[in-house]
Amino acid sequence: MRSTAVFCTFMLAMLITGPLSFTADGAARKAGFPDTERILRLFGFPEGRFDAVLANDMQLDSEIDGRVALTEGDTTLDTAEEFITAAFLSRVSLSETRMREFEIELPKSGDGALRLCSMWLFRMAEYPARASAYRAVLSLIRGKTTVTDNAIVEYYMDALAGRLDSMRISGLDPEEEARLRRLVVLHMMDPLNTPVAAELRAFIAGLKTLSPQKAQKALEFLHALSPAVAARFEEKSGARG
């Protein structure tokens, strides 16, 4: 899994901001994505469910709020990802206990910013049509923190690999599973790469020809990773039904 991710480093780097100047990363870390439900609970969202009205009633830095709110095409904070990003960059006030928990998810150190960037890169893989807006919020996070482009790429690779490695696939033979994992990694690392997306669609369509059950297992794996990605490939691979 790791070797496949490394293969994608240059492509993802170009996707974020263009040619990079690579520098040595810091100490080894356990990469991961923010637990959005846990963070929302810390800010008083009932059951950890995002509420746009509640989010926009909170006192956040107006300049950051305004810029982050544009990410999903509106002028208000209308997604959990937007709110969490604005809250992190605004450094809103929480009780001492809740702030400690918040900083477990999004530390003040560079790891907090890296987690945020990974969240948005995953979002870009889910909704590649909005890539330009996601690049803008990535640029904002980089500008407000000290994280480097190279560190963002490396962290996302590790977080993605960790999530995929924790997910099991049943119903496929070892070669089919290995190929599916490889293609999913390539796509999630570089969602604007049309040939990779086409190859993944063709692979799922080929599985359906061999066995509709196998195609369904592949789509279940994608759905566990991201319902949005699964829906896109279910429709375009002809594997639905």
* pLDDT for 56: 85
Can you give the residue ranges of every domain in the chain? 1-11+30-166, 174-237
Residue 227 predicted with pLDDT over 90: yes
Is residue 31 over pLDDT 90?
A: no
Kindly state the tokens that stand for 113: 């910013």
Q: Phi/psi of residue 52, each to 5°?
A: -65, -35
Q: Is 165 exposed, middle or buried (0-12, 13-18, 19+ CB in 10 A)?
A: exposed
Say which amino acid occupies 187: H
Model pLDDT for residues 67-123, shown as the tens digit of each residue: 999 998 888 899 999 999 999 998 777 899 999 999 999 998 789 999 999 999 999
Sign for the CA dihedral angle at 182, 196, 148, 103 comes to negative
Confidence at residue 239, expressed as pLDDT on a 0 to 100 scale: 52
Q: Answer left, alpha or beta for residue 73, where phi above 0 means left and psi between -120 and 50 means alpha.
A: left
Question: Which comes out higher in pLDDT, residue 223 or 6?
Answer: 223
> Under 8 Å CB-to-CB from 72, ≥6 apart: which residues?
78, 79, 81, 82, 130, 133
pLDDT for the residue numbered 57: 86
- Which residue in the block uniquely carries the two structure tokens 């330009």? 132
Q: Which residue has the tokens 């509640």?
A: 54
What is the average pLDDT value for the chain, to the nearest integer?
Answer: 86
What pTM, to 2 d.p., does this model score?
A: 0.86
Per-residue model confidence as pLDDT tens digits over 170-183 = 999 999 999 999 99
